[in-house]
Amino acid sequence: MQILRTAAALRAALAGETRTAFVPTMGNLHAGHVSLVDLARRHGQPVVASIFVNPLQFGAGEDFDRYPRTLDADCEKLAAAGCDLVFAPDAAEIYPVPQTFTVQPPEALANDLCGAFRPGHFSGVATVVLKLFNLVQPRVAVFGKKDFQQLLVIRELVRQFNLPIDIVAGDTLREADGLAMSSRNAYLGASERIQAAQLQRELATVALAVQAGERDFEALAAAAARRLKMAGWRVDYVAVRDAATLQAPAADSARLVVLGAAWLGSTRLIDNLDFAHPFE
């Protein structure tokens, strides 16, 4: 497995490749990331993973400085998973000049849910992903469903910029108690880690109620948020949406998704469950 630090070296290594599969990450990898590499191997060759903690998607007071940087351990995991090339640039390589040109996703998609609590986040995500797509020139790119809103932003980016890239979604991997695997889980204290699986359980409760015929999505979401708050969480949102658009569900929505974001102490956790629309 090659580990490359510069755009020039990356382009040279991928010259002439037409079936590249790409997995962008911020590092501090866990089994969920490894599953995305496994998925990428089934869709293209060579498999390229990037490791870059993107400053553009972190807001003031967020965890950019303390986000774990574990390059050596990450590369060991990627090599074991069959990754062919790791692109691990520094910030100066990705942003050699101030990034005054940025991608602005549609407001209805980017300023709702997580975007309402992290202003500018999805612009930062879309901008760095577009840069990475330009550098790697993949035929396929793989993103996890755990960051569901991000996945939809990237799909719309590819559609509106006519990029010849297939976006493949990888299922969320979970711990034995249901907690979605996340690099930020390492921030949780011992008691917080035990409590953290409640977020998934509350989302599952909402999904099961909808599948059983409940129609008042806002009331179901509000009840879940209330239960989390009573247990000591600080809730950003719980919501039921159309899984294709993240807008309010409609009668013709093929799939729905219940999403949540909430804080345990200083750790913000997100999760979601998508499911078939159960009624007409």
CATH number at residue 197: 3.30.1300.10
> Does 280 map to a domain?
no
- 246 shares a domain with 131: no
DSSP strand E in the chain: where?
2-4, 21-25, 47-51, 85-87, 140-144, 166-170, 234-242, 255-264, 267-276
- 191 shares a domain with 73: no
- 140 shares a domain with 64: yes
> Does 163 map to a domain?
yes
Q: CA 230 from chain center: how many Å?
A: 28
Residue 225: predicted pLDDT = 98
- 155 shares a domain with 65: yes
pLDDT tens digits along 125-139: 999 999 999 999 999
- 135 shares a domain with 212: no
- 209 shares a domain with 134: no
- 93 shares a domain with 22: yes
Q: How many domains does the chain have?
A: 2
Of the residues 170, 204, 236, the one at which a domain ends: 170
- 199 shares a domain with 160: no
> Does 96 map to a domain?
yes
For 257, the 3-state DSSP assignment is strand
- 158 shares a domain with 201: no
pLDDT tens digits along 160-191: 999 999 999 999 999 999 999 999 999 999 99
Residue 122: predicted pLDDT = 98
- 119 shares a domain with 57: yes
- 151 shares a domain with 246: no
For residue 266, pLDDT beyond 90 = yes
Nearest-Å Rg of the Cα atoms of the chain is 19
pLDDT tens digits along 41-57: 999 999 999 999 999 99
At residue 278 the predicted structure's pLDDT band, cuts being 50, 70 and 90, is confident
For 95, the domain range is: 2-170
> Does 231 map to a domain?
yes
Q: Of these residues, 33, 43, 121, 277, which one is catalytic?
A: 33
Residue 183: predicted pLDDT = 95
> Does 268 map to a domain?
yes
- 160 shares a domain with 88: yes
> Does 177 map to a domain?
no
CATH number at residue 48: 3.40.50.620
First to last CA, the chain: 50
At residue 280 the predicted structure's pLDDT band, cuts being 50, 70 and 90, is low
**Residue 102 CB: number of other CB atoms within 10 A?**
13
> Does 235 map to a domain?
yes
Q: How many CA atoms lie within 13 Å of 43's alpha carbon, on the beta-carbon side?
A: 22
How far lies 162's CA from each of 102, 105, 138, 155, 159, in Å? 17, 15, 14, 11, 5
Q: What is the mean pLDDT of residues 23-42?
A: 97
Active site residue 33: yes
Q: How far apart, in whole angstroms, are the C-alpha atoms of residue 183 and residue 67? A: 9
Q: What is the mean pLDDT of residues 262-270?
A: 97
> Does 175 map to a domain?
no
If you search the block for the tokens 């382009």, which residue do you land on?
11
pLDDT tens digits along 189-244: 999 999 999 999 999 999 999 999 999 999 999 999 999 999 999 999 999 999 99
pLDDT tens digits along 70-123: 999 999 999 999 999 999 999 999 999 999 999 999 999 999 999 999 999 999
Q: What is the mean pLDDT of residues 255-274?
A: 97
